Structure 1
Amino acid sequence: MTTAANQPAVVVGIDGSDTALGAAQWAAEFAAKHGSALTLVHAIPKLHWDFASADAPADLDRAARSDGVLAAAETAVRSTHPDLAIHPTAVKGAVATTLVDASDSARLVVVGTGAADHRALGGHAVKVAHRALCPVVVWRQPVAKRTGKPLPVVIGVDESDQSTRALAEAFDIAATLHAPLTVVHMWEIGAAVGMGDLGGEGPMDWQLLDLLQTQQRQRMDALVEPFARKYRNAHVNKVFQDISPAKGLTDLSREAQLVVVGSHGRGKLADSIFGSVSQNLIHHAECPVLVVR
């Protein structure tokens, strides 16, 4: 899955739904700006085609429907990106497994939420975000509307190695989309200075609070600085908030075009210990979410 310039392709899952078409349009826009090809993947679950294999007309009809789904998606994408290299492909296999396999050589995998109501996230999108070998965009229509300058890309960071990888991805994505980048560190400081478990009535250590805030800002500056040197044209806004990361990033997603977060998954156990913040965001954010492993 590479272009003539040896760029990894952007892969998008197609199932005939409106959210899949929205995901395809987002993926096409990114691929065009990144100089990549776009691969449209329609998976045909094995359970279906095994049962249909004994009935040739039914099998042919299923193949025809698959071709129709891919053709409709390609037509929609070409209406806005006529020169983009597009590769439609139908694969017999489970949806999540097919997209995870494709992620091995992809720049990004993009999947729709699977439902018009973004709070009823499709199971396939969750599984792909858990298991993919490249970053995954879980797409939903953003609430915010662009009225002038591009909406920001928002990235939540902490002090983990994975957060550094997510930050690198966020800088690259923001540069590709020509968008400003909002780097956010959120930490519930109250619990560390005598407020957390006492309903706001504990003794506040103001000196400790000031020290912790200063240290966190210094760490954020140190984390961002190497990437700011590399991406010299980046417009970076740093935000430090005393709020839970899940709530804070969800709030910011209402004014963003994309939220970037690390998965905090660990190998084969990622399904059971998928990071609480990323898990919350892919269910509740008000814009597309990019999950970085």
Structure 2
Amino acid sequence: MLKHILIAHDLSPEADLALRRAEQLARRQGARLSLVHVLGEGADEAAARTRLAAAAPHAELRLARGRAAMEIPALAGWLQADLLVLGDHHRDSPQGFSGTTLEQILQRCPTPVLLAVRADPAPWQRALVPLDFSPCASRALQRAATLLEPEAQLHVAHVHEVAALHAGDDPEELAFQRELFERLLEEEHARLDAEAPPLRPAWRAGERDQCLQQLIDELQPHLLALGSHSRGALADALLGSLALQMLRQPPCDVLLVR
């Protein structure tokens, strides 16, 4: 269970959406909620404080000055927050996602990050977690399971990467890979809390990004949880092109876990 949720708010409508999600999670988890706002140069501190206090009267308000890309990850680490919640702030950026404050925060933040974009703050009913046998993907599954209601659908996907043209060429290899995935599911299930939703496996063979995109289209998840593999460039850290695509145009709320 989460003990401390940090919401970064930049006074935008997107941040208000993220705040509603953070409040919903804080209520369900019984977690402390803190709100941070980084003041820009010449910003009216009193006006910002009044606006934020009215938006989240039950949150602990923290104001900082400096670069948001530096201050927010540093504060998340210093407060030992269990989750940082952000709004989707880059849609109108002339450079797209690359180089934005959001990208820089995701690269630097030691805390799991939730990019909240859904207008409906109701509890998630469907979640999708891609598993690739990495520790960070396992952590993403464990974190996602703690955020869901027991009756939610928790879909766990693995793609055996092979050119789509040759996906059915070696039945024995496919059977072996599927058996490995089933063993992984047993191990992951043993780590889950008894109240966690049951795992719903989805195994595919083909091109990874294409298969996962098909699953997203089919399942229409409310939450997509991804493991972040390193602290390097984001293209290498977050399951490659699929994650970049999800962050450029999130189809749902996206949880990133190191």
TM category, shorter: 0.7 to 0.9
Q: Which runs of 5+ in 2 are unaligned?
A: none
Alpha-carbon distance change, 121 to 72 in structure 1, aligned in 2, over 3 angstroms: farther
Distance in 2 separating the partners of 1:15 and 1:205: 50
Given the two structures, how large is their TM-score scaled by the length of structure 1?
A: 0.73
Do structure 1's residue 289 and structure 2's residue 254 form an aligned pair? yes
Match for residue 168 of structure 1 among 139, 142, 152 = 142
Distance in 2 separating the partners of 1:13 and 1:94: 13
Pairing of 1:135-214 with structure 2 (within 5 A): 135-141=112-118, 151-175=125-149, 179-190=152-163, 195=165, 206=169, 208=170, 210-214=171-175
Distance in 2 separating the partners of 1:129 and 1:11: 14
Tell me which protein shows more helix as a share of its residues. 1
Q: Provide the residue aligned with 2:67 in structure 1.
A: 94
Distance in 2 separating the partners of 1:7 and 1:173: 8
Name the amino acid aligned to 2:255. L
Q: Provide the residue aligned with 1:215 in structure 2.
A: 176
2:118–2:252 Cα contact (<8 Å) kept? yes
Distance in 1 separating the partners of 2:233 and 2:224: 20
Alpha-carbon distance change, 40 to 131 in structure 1, aligned in 2, over 3 angstroms: same
Match for residue 279 of structure 1 among 219, 226, 244 = 244
1:153–1:260 Cα contact (<8 Å) kept? yes
Given the two structures, how large is their TM-score scaled by the length of structure 2?
A: 0.82
**Deviation digits for residues 211-249 of structure 1 (CA, Å, limit 9, x no counterpart):** 232222222222221332333342221001234433444
Q: Which runs of 5+ in 1 are unaligned?
A: 1-5, 53-60, 76-84, 197-203
Alpha-carbon distance change, 29 to 183 in structure 1, aligned in 2, over 3 angstroms: same
Structure with higher Rg: it is 1
1:41 positional shift: 0.7
Structure 1 vs Structure 2: percent identity of aligned residues? 22
Q: Provide the residue aligned with 1:69 in structure 2.
A: 51
Q: Provide the residue aligned with 1:39 in structure 2.
A: 34
1:291 positional shift: 0.6
More displaced stretch, 25-34 vs 211-220: 211-220
| Number of residue pairs the alignment of both structures matches | 248
Do structure 1's residue 240 and structure 2's residue 213 form an aligned pair? no
Name the amino acid aligned to 2:188. F
1:116 positional shift: 5.7
